[in-house]
Structure 1
């Protein structure tokens, strides 16, 4: 299943207009996701990880560059070709492999290929009818023995219906599919509102 064409075109328009100087990208803060910074520092306290990592919905690459700084071989992808081009331009010396990619139509070579999968707010960017398929896409990237981090904003009173289409707890839990298991799910206060932080893993094959 490919991504909703309207969503794809909308994001490409946003990034193309930003590149032309017409308007900024609202979610571009020029820094990695704050909680990801904390999580990487705690999870890899020695400063080094190991293996391959995927960063979903990479935008301009701030999260991807952070993960790569820990020694991971990072593939970062976004539905917008312009976002990927700008990420490469912003990080000309980067070791990250930036690619245009569709979470709902992933290349076969990426399936079960990554030891670490990072998903920060991409699921909520999609319409609700695509959330289950997108969650399965996240799970499908995780290799045997690998782990997944999901960060998504929690719905609150007065939030508009979307976009973004904020996730209920059970929608985050849907990442636990295709052999992937939920290991911890928390609601954490953060800048701009509470976030779901889900940690998942695929048990290593014996």
Structure 2
């Protein structure tokens, strides 16, 4: 379990091309969300951004996007993809659990896709605190949760009850519903959520 908290573990997965969570495109439910034009433009953090597919989708729609990942190879690939697509986005190598030191209250949106399921379940409460801390007041988490029930991981499983228990002390649930256009291998296991940040003491 401890190896997944080490950046070398994730770097090796990218170098060996064993990063099977990378679907080679942005999450289809995000495309539907952005095409509906329900979001006001603003600053977006994509945490655990990998090769940047989701980040670049939001950049394409005019958002000011910064992607963060543990892996140097993932960040390099994201920057290369940005250039090839002619888009503008920033990609920084960071441990997401340190982002509050540098980006406290900095973002209008945080985008989640296969980061929550990649970290150790014991870190999930810290993850929620981190997301809350880097959002502006009334900021919003936009999440595509991969909530399967298989043993082991990563990706580690979860369910709606756990997600609600973790996030409800710090967020209002605007929307959480089954994703209707997931990729085939994740159909029936993904939920699209929009959680609005509650104003409270981040240290509690």
TM over 0.5, shorter chain: yes
| 1:124 partner SS | coil
Which of residues 42, 46, 66 in structure 2 aligns to 1:75? 66
> C-alpha displacement at 1:49, in angstroms?
4.0
* Contact 1:103–1:138 under 8 Å retained in 2: no
Q: What TM-score does the superposition give when structure 2 sets the normalisation length?
A: 0.83
Aligned to 2:34: 40
> C-alpha displacement at 1:78, in angstroms?
0.8
Structure 2: state its 5+ residue gaps: 200-204
Which of residues 26, 31, 34 in structure 1 aligns to 2:25? 31
Q: Residues 86-165 of structure 1: matches in 2 within 5 Å?
A: 86-92=77-83, 93-156=86-149, 159-165=150-156
What are the Cα deviations for residues 170-194 of structure 1, in whole angstroms up to 9, with x where unaligned?
332223444x322222233533232
Q: How many residues align?
A: 191
Task: Compare relative contact order (CA 8 Å, sep 6+) and give the higher one, 1 or 2.
Answer: 2
Greater Cα shift, 193-202 or 71-80: 193-202
Aligned to 1:175: 167
* Contact 1:136–1:177 under 8 Å retained in 2: no
| 1:56 corresponds to 2:51 | no
| 1:123 partner SS | coil
* Contact 1:49–1:70 under 8 Å retained in 2: no
Q: Distance in 1 between matches of 2:131 and 2:11?
A: 21
Which of residues 153, 175, 184 in structure 2 aligns to 1:184? 175
| 1:91 partner SS | helix
Structure 1: state its 5+ residue gaps: 19-23
Cα RMSD, aligned residues only: 2.3
* Contact 2:100–2:130 under 8 Å retained in 1: no
* Contact 2:65–2:90 under 8 Å retained in 1: yes
Q: What TM-score does the superposition give when structure 1 sets the normalisation length?
A: 0.82
What are the Cα deviations for residues 52-103 of structure 1, in whole angstroms up to 9, with x where unaligned?
1111111111111110111111111111121101111222243101001222
What are the Cα deviations for residues 105-162 of structure 1, in whole angstroms up to 9, with x where unaligned?
2143312111121111211101111111112212222212321111111224xx2322
| 2:167 partner SS | coil
* Contact 1:139–1:177 under 8 Å retained in 2: no
Runs in 1 of length 4+ with deviation above 4 angstroms?
none
TM-aligned CA distance change 1:111 to 1:16, over 3 Å: same
Aligned to 2:197: 202
Question: Which has a greater percent of helix?
Answer: 2
